[in-house]
Structure 1
Amino acid sequence: MGVFTFVCKSSGGEWSAKQYSGDLEATASSAFDLQRRLVQASLSVDSSGGVSSSFSMVTPSSAVFQVIIGGGGGGGGALLGGAAAAGGATTASAAPEAPPAEEKKAEKEEESDDEPMFSLFD
């Protein structure tokens, strides 16, 4: 499983990115094109499974972009530009199991019984 993290910046209508801990870099005219190029660059280093990615704006001119290759969870829902990697099938066993909803609901009810009920508009 490969995880690639990039710091992205926009200046003068051009987006650029540099890998946080590595040598991968890319530039593009839009944030979307930059993401596509970064996925392709990441796949050139590691093509061991499905691809998922996350783009988070930090300021209007900077962002963090993360590409995760392999790892099993997700099913490749964020494949960009036909960047499907060989072995994109995933298994559900990689995801941790959540406790049944009944247990969560029961815990919440127990906590709320001890607390007095207040309304915001009283």
Structure 2
Amino acid sequence: MGVFTFVCRKSGGEWEAKQHKGELEGSAASTYDLERQLVSAAYAKDPCGGVQSSFTMVSPDSAVCQVIIGAAAAGPAVASAGGAAASGGGAAEAPKAEEKKKEEEKEESEDDLGFSLFD
């Protein structure tokens, strides 16, 4: 798993990024293009799995971009706030949804017999 952290600054109309404790760099006209470029550069350096990225504005002219490679299997447990792991309800609701689905399938299978018990 590789974690790449970039410090981004806007200079004039151009965004520039330099890797914190590394050699990767990038520049683009928009934050979206800069993030895509940094993801591509990080993945080229360490192509070993899924990719997650975040771009967080610190001020109007500075930001932090983080690219994590190889963490896709970790799922929502990676999220520290605001994600499914923080809400706590996702895992408890899954069995209920499965039970409901099984009940619906059971009802449908009764209808497939060509007769109904309540006719």
> TM-score scaled to structure 2, two decimals?
0.62
1:39-78 correspondence runs (5 A): 39-71=39-71, 72-74=73-75
Q: Give yes or no for contact 1:52–1:74 (8 Å, CA) kept in 2.
A: no
**1:24 deviation in Å?**
0.1
Cα RMSD (Å): 2.2
**1:73 deviation in Å?**
2.2
Secondary structure at the counterpart of residue 23 of structure 1: coil
Would you say how many aligned residue pairs link Structure 1 and Structure 2?
80
Q: Give yes or no for contact 1:6–1:20 (8 Å, CA) kept in 2.
A: yes
Percent sequence identity is 61
Aligned to 1:85: none
Unpaired segments ≥5 residues, structure 1: 76-94, 102-122
Aligned to 2:22: 22
Q: Distance in 1 between matches of 2:50 and 2:69?
A: 6
Q: Distance in 2 between matches of 1:63 and 1:33?
A: 14
**1:64 deviation in Å?**
0.3
1:71-90 correspondence runs (5 A): 71=71, 72-74=73-75
Q: Give the aligned residue type for 2:66.
A: Q
- Structure 1 stretches of at least 4 aligned residues deviating more than 4 Å after TM superposition: none
Q: Give the aligned residue type for 1:73.
A: A
Q: Give yes or no for contact 1:15–1:34 (8 Å, CA) kept in 2.
A: yes
Aligned to 1:35: 35
**1:50 deviation in Å?**
0.3
Summarize deviations over 1:62-115 as a string: whole Å, max 9, x none. 00000000022239xxxxxxxxxxxxxxxxxxx9xx6x87xxxxxxxxxxxxxx
Secondary structure at the counterpart of residue 74 of structure 1: helix
Q: Give the aligned residue type for 2:75.
A: G
Q: Decide which structure has the larger Cα Rg and report it.
A: 2
Q: Distance in 2 between matches of 1:19 and 1:73?
A: 24
Unpaired segments ≥5 residues, structure 2: 77-84, 93-119
> TM-score scaled to structure 1, two decimals?
0.60
